Amino acid sequence: MELAGKSDQDILSIANPIMDNLMDASTAIDYERHIRDFTDRLKGVLPKERLEWICQDYQSTKGFFAEREFVAAFRRPESVAVVWKQRFTQQPGDFVAEMVLVQQDGKYLVDHVMVF
């Protein structure tokens, strides 16, 4: 079944483990593990040095990722954007975590991801 035709629950069963890995890998500042589910396009725009800077910056200002709550899945013909409400350990308030998933060669890959 095409990704965009899946239920929210089915999309989350794909998206949550990928996002968990992204957050765990960025906490550990483990570049190879962080990019393992990226499309080639996304790998090309995030060099190792940039990821290290991003991780060090958010960890020093916001702390680490805390609880995450699903908000919505936005379906497009070729992708699904998943949005969560995200919290951090040291910075009060709600942040947005978003990830764009695509399906390529039978795999689900991340084509964009951001926490802001």
Instruction: Give how far Cα 110 sits from Cα of 23, 98, 103, Å.
Output: 13, 10, 9
Strands 107-115 and 80-88: unpaired
| pTM for this prediction | 0.94
Domain boundaries, the chain: 3-115
CATH architecture of 3-115: Roll (3.10)
Strand 80-88 to 65-75 pairing: antiparallel
pLDDT digit string (tens) for 5-14? 999 999 999 9
Residues 46-89 have pLDDT tens digits of: 999 999 999 999 999 999 999 999 999 999 999 999 999 999 99
CA distance 27 to 39: 21
Give the Cα separation of 3 and 75 in Å (integer): 8
